[in-house]
Amino acid sequence: MDATNLAMQPFVLSMEVDDDNSFASEYRLRIGNQVKYLVVAPGTFDRDTLSFPIQSLPHLPYHEEWTVGNISRDKASGDLKTSLLNRTLAGVKCQWHRTKVDCLELEKTKQLTAMAFEAFSQSIPPITVPPPATVIAKIARFEWELPRIEQETRAYQLLEGSGLAPRFLGHVHENGRIMGFLLEKTEGRPASFQDLSACETALGKLHELGLVHGDVNRHNFLVTDAGAKLLDFECLRENARPGMMSKELENLRAELVDESGRGGGFILHGDSN
């Protein structure tokens, strides 16, 4: 296989596989300098094949322009069926930062969560972070994760310069669409009950901005030498009512006592006076 064809071989960047094979499984593939998506219908392959699908896929025209491929199996013949769509994928609308980094230029060094990872980046301006910069990247692997990235991108815009959160370094794009962001890597540890005062101070400053976090738990605070910082703003609420702020602050003590695991925290539903 020559170098050109080798570079066009698909590489799985992300996957979301249904363990029971009852729902569609999704894959995010790197092919050369492009990213394409595959949706495999339930019952198309067995569970083991879904975990390592590349060798079992039908021939796909990787050189052609398409973004989403759907693969299923004909119920009568058992043959694989493929349909390709060249549709525009959704992207983050809240684009407020001047720096934009190509996701494929990030060198992943450590996976943190399904959506977040540590990485090296040479694309961030050296006046911002000296290269090679170790950063935290958080991306929407699939379109249905995009609202969470949209919400957090807006949150970091609101918190810019507040010191209440790790520094926002820029947007992450893929094939030109914004689908993630970069944060400065900040050294610290999850909060414990001994950090209650520092966490109350940070949460109080957030409330002064008219915001509630919406999911306070010990893992959503990062205790640093400079005090406590807040993380994970997927449930952030703007223009919050005083009652919501009071309830969140009251709940903080109980959440910091609970050190049994990653806990659900206090997620706001509805509204409160």
The model's pLDDT over 23-34, given as tens digits with 9 standing for 90+, comes to 999 999 999 899
pLDDT at 127: 60
SS3 15: strand
Is 94 inside any structural domain?
A: no
Q: What is the CATH number of the domain that holds 115?
A: 3.30.200.20
Model pLDDT for residues 114-136, shown as the tens digit of each residue: 999 999 988 777 666 666 678 99
**Omega cis (within 30) before 132:** yes
- Classify the C-alpha dihedral 33-181-176-132 as positive or negative: negative
Given 163, 184, 205, which residue is the final one in a domain?
A: 184
Instruction: Give the structural domain span for 246.
Output: 189-259
- Cα separation of 207 and 241, whole Å? 10
CATH number for the domain that contains residue 198: 1.10.510.10
H helix count then E strand count, the chain: 5, 16
Strand 168-174 to 133-139 pairing: unpaired
Written as six digits, the tokens of 172 are 């992450």
Domain presence at residue 267: no
| 196-208 helix and 242-257 helix, angle to the nearest 10 degrees | 160
Residue 272: per-residue pLDDT: 46
- How many structural domains comprise the chain? 3
Q: How far is CA 162 from CA 78, 156, 220, 229, 251, in A?
A: 58, 10, 17, 10, 23
pLDDT at 131: 64
28-31 LR contacts (CB < 8 Å, sep 24+): 28/141, 28/142, 30/104, 31/62
- Given a contact cutoff of 8 angstroms between Cβ atoms, the answer to whether 28 and 37 are in contact is yes
Mean pLDDT in residue range 148-177 = 96
Question: Per-residue pLDDT for 265 more than 90?
Answer: no
How many angstroms separate the Cα of 210 from the Cα of each of 94, 152, 183?
19, 16, 23
Q: What pLDDT sits at residue 133?
A: 75
> Do residues 161 and 195 share a domain?
no
Q: Are residues 66 and 125 in the same domain?
A: no
Q: What percent of the chain has pLDDT over 90?
A: 78
Least confident interval from 92-101, 116-125, 134-143, 190-199: 116-125
How many whole angstroms separate alpha carbon 214 and alpha carbon 142?
Answer: 24
Work out the average pLDDT over 52-81: 92
Higher-pLDDT residue of 89, 265: 89
- The percent of residues above 70 in pLDDT, for the chain, comes to 89
CA atoms within 13 A on the CB side of 135: 32
**Cα 50 from chain centroid (whole Å):** 22
Minimum mean pLDDT among 116-130, 164-178, 187-201, 204-218: which range? 116-130
Give the pairing type, strands 133-139 and 107-111: unpaired
Q: What is the pLDDT of residue 260?
A: 55
Note the pTM of the prediction, 2 decimals.
0.89
Q: How many CA atoms lie within 13 A of 171 on its CB side?
A: 22
pLDDT at 132: 64
